[in-house]
Amino acid sequence: MNAAMQAAGTTIEYEPPRNLAEFMSLALAMESEAAQRYAELADAMEMANNVEVAELFRRMANIETGHARAVMAQMHWREYVPRGSPFSEGPETPGEDAVHYLMQPYHALELALACEERAERFYADLAAAVEDAEVREAARGLEAEEREHVALVRAWLARAEKPAENWADDPDPPRYVD
Amino acid sequence: MNDVAPCAPRTAQTYKSAYKPIWCPGCGDYSVLSSVTKALAMLDLPPEDVVVVSGIGCSSRIPAYTNCYGFHGVHGRSLAAATGLKVARPDLTVLVAGGDGDGYSIGGNHFLHACRRNVDLTYIVMDNHVYGMTKGQPSPTTEPDWDSKLSPGGTKLRVFHPLVVALASGANFIARAFSGDPNGTADILAQAIRHPGFSFVEILSPCVTFRPEQREWKTQVRPAPVEPTTDASRAARRLMTDDGFNIGVLYAGDRPVCPLAPAEPRSRVEDLEAEFAL
Ligand SMILES: Cc1ncc(C[n+]2csc(CCOP(=O)(O)OP(=O)(O)O)c2C)c(N)n1
Ligand code: SF4
């Protein structure tokens, strides 16, 4: 058995998977959790009438859902439902509190980039540490996919308008501080 | 394909309703909802056997967002309604949820007596140290020096310590959780639901709109450096020195649970009526 590992970008220690099924089960839990969180953030942004950011989070949710489906297909899992990841929050999951009702697409992309980079590092660390060749290969495969996502989000970010310094100013704020 | 956990028949999604929460983006209550649904999935409870009862406040909106039975009741009265429900339907799993205003101000007296009665309920307080829904008034857990337009210079009042009060009043399970750790919170909630009697889980759940500084809670919380104890006096010593940021199960007792089966009546209704017959 491998020693406990630290999940990229987090302080969480976990037991590395021992075989391909365990690894893919972990990957599925992570991808599903991230998809779910992006969908929740998209809903929250819709409620706050921040349509552009809602759309972006929805797109991220779809990407992560696609990932989860690919894992299922690769393993020929039809009914499998992940029981949850060993992490409090997986390395790819954006924090529930990482949003603001006035945030702009640029902020959303920065957030997504950080998550994709963490995921890439997570799979890379795992590939470097595991003993099982099948797990290593699968981890490298997912690492490569995450790298593509990092590049994609970086390209979107390069095109996104940088927010003005006073982006969070609200002429009719919910909270009066003066 | 061995060594894989068996299929879970129900997932957290099973317990979520089609209604989209209208909480502010970033509010801790989103994660609490996620933890409640994860805990129910861990316990694999049929949604139709679970009821979520609440009072009034942003946090008290939670029943609508679950797929269980729900009762969004009157401000501060959730525990009274839930007690009645559990006594009438002991077969149901009854969760009670709300905020610190709902539970410790207007509902404070119900809180004491719900602990004392020790009916098998799980009470979840989403504590953000403020009244969120009514735009930021201080609550009993607000720090005395919290300065705001509605409390200039702070209230200067001593804070209420819900965990100490719960222990002194007879609660059988006492824990603190943090919304920023949804899986850890789900685990604590599952333990609370399983534990017999009145289980009280205080969840630190930031109000990002009226208390934006609470986003920093994630750097302040820590796992409680102690194992859960069944010894009330040890728990009391622990809680009296607690700074409000220790996360975990702090007391899991074996106090006698309120018997739900009604006692044999001493007299029949007809006999009582006969006494008043003209
Ligand atoms: C009988 C009654 N009194 C006062 C109110 C106004 N009121 C609505 S919510 C609330 C406080 C809610 O605070 P809390 O329970 O902490 O919930 P939060 O909104 O912070 O989640 C108050 C005083 C009410 N609805 N009913
Ligand atoms: S006002 Fe505060 S408690 Fe209410 S939804 Fe907004 S952030 Fe949450």
pLDDT at A80 over 80: no
Distance from CA of B68 to the nearest CA of A (A): 19
Domain membership of residue B251 (yes or no) is yes
CA proximity to B222, closest of B206, B239, B242, B195: B242
Please answer yes or no on whether A81 and B11 come within 8 Å at the CB atom: yes
Q: Which residue of A has its CA nearest to B210?
A: A175
User: What are B92-118's pLDDT values in tens digits?
Assistant: 999 999 999 999 999 999 999 999 999
Give Cβ neighbours of residue B50 (< 8 Å, ≥ 6 apart).
Answer: B15, B40, B66, B68, B69, B92, B93, B94, B95
Q: Which residues pair with B94 in a beta bridge?
A: B51
Nearest CA to A71 among A36, A42, A32?
A32
What is the per-residue pLDDT for B213? 95
- The torsion region of residue B44 among left (phi > 0), alpha (psi -120 to 50) and beta comes to left
B148 contacts in A (CB within 8 Å)? 177
A50-70: per-residue pLDDT in tens? 999 999 999 999 999 999 999
Please compute the mean of the pLDDT values over residues B200-224 and round it to a whole number. 96
Q: Does ligand 1 come within 6 angstroms of the Cβ of B141?
A: no
Q: Please determine, for residue A2, whether its predicted confidence score (pLDDT) is greater than 80.
A: no
CA–CA distance from A62 to each of A42, A69, A124, A146, B77 (Å)? 11, 10, 23, 14, 41
Here the CATH number for the domain that contains residue B39 is: 3.40.50.970
What is the structure's pLDDT at A103? 98
B chain contacts of residue A85, beta-carbon cutoff 8 Å: 183
In this model, does residue A10 exceed pLDDT 80? Answer: no
How far apart CA A99 and CA A92 sit, in angstroms, is 15
Q: What is the pLDDT of residues A122-167, one digit of tens each?
A: 999 999 999 899 999 999 999 999 999 999 999 999 999 999 999 9
**Helices B182-194 and B29-43, interaxial angle, to 10°?**
50
Residue B1 domain-assigned (yes or no): no
Q: Is residue B253 part of a domain?
A: yes
Under 8 Å CB pairs connecting chains A and B tally to 93
Choose among B157, B168, B161, B57: nearest CA to B112. B168
In terms of average pLDDT, the best of A76-80, A106-110, B5-9 is A106-110
- The minimum CA-CA distance between B20 and chain A, rounded to whole Å, is 7
Q: How far is the CA of B107 from the centre of ligand 1 (A)?
A: 10
Three-class secondary structure of residue B30 per DSSP: helix
Residue A14 has pLDDT above 90, yes or no: no
Contact by Cβ (8 Å): B37, B15 = yes
Q: Do the domain assignments include residue B194?
A: yes
* Residue A131: CB atoms within 10 Å: 10
Output B233 or A1, whichever has higher pLDDT. Answer: B233
In a domain, B214, yes or no: yes
Q: Which residues in chain B have their CB less than 8 angstroms from residue A22's CB? A: 3-4
Integer CA distances (angstroms), A45 to A116, A174, B165, in order: 21, 16, 38
| pLDDT, mean over chain B | 94
Cβ atoms of B222 and B246 closer than 8 Å? yes
> Could you tell me the pLDDT band of residue B11, with boundaries at 50, 70 and 90?
confident
Q: Is residue A107 pLDDT above 70, yes or no? A: yes
- Tell whether B149 is covered by a domain: yes
Kindly determine whether residue A177 and residue B149, on different chains, have CB atoms separated by under 8 Å.
yes
Domain A30-82+90-159 has CATH 1.20.1250.20: no
Which residue in the set B7, B25, B181 is minimally distant from A79, CB to CB?
A: B7
pLDDT value, residue B3: 45
Model pLDDT for residues A161-178, shown as the tens digit of each residue: 999 999 999 988 887 665
* Total number of domains in chain B: 1
Find the CB nearest A22 among B3, B25, B28: B3
Q: Residue holding tokens 């986003």?
A: B215
pLDDT exceeds cutoff 60 at A8 = no
Which band of pLDDT confidence, cut at 50, 70 and 90, is reported for residue B269?
confident
How far apart, in whole angstroms, are the C-alpha atoms of residue A68 and residue B234? 46
Over residues B173-192, mean pLDDT = 96
pTM: 0.92
Residue pointed to by tokens 């990932």:
A67
ipTM: 0.88
Q: Averaged over A72-78, what is the pLDDT?
A: 87
For residue B267, the model assigns a pLDDT of 84
Domain span at residue B246? 15-275
